[in-house]
Amino acid sequence: MYKCRSMLMLRIDGKTRVQVFYNTVLRNFPLFCPKCKLTHIVDVEKLEIIIKNSEKQTF
Rounded CA separation 10/51 (Å): 9
Please tell me the distance from the alpha carbon of residue 54 to that of residue 56, in angstroms, as a whole number. 7
- 56 pLDDT more than 80: no
What is the value of pTM for the model shown?
0.68
Confidence of residue 21 (pLDDT cuts 50, 70, 90): confident
Domain ranges of the chain: 4-56
19 and 8 in contact (C-beta within 8 Å)? no
Question: Where residue 59 falls among pLDDT bands split at 50, 70, 90?
Answer: very low
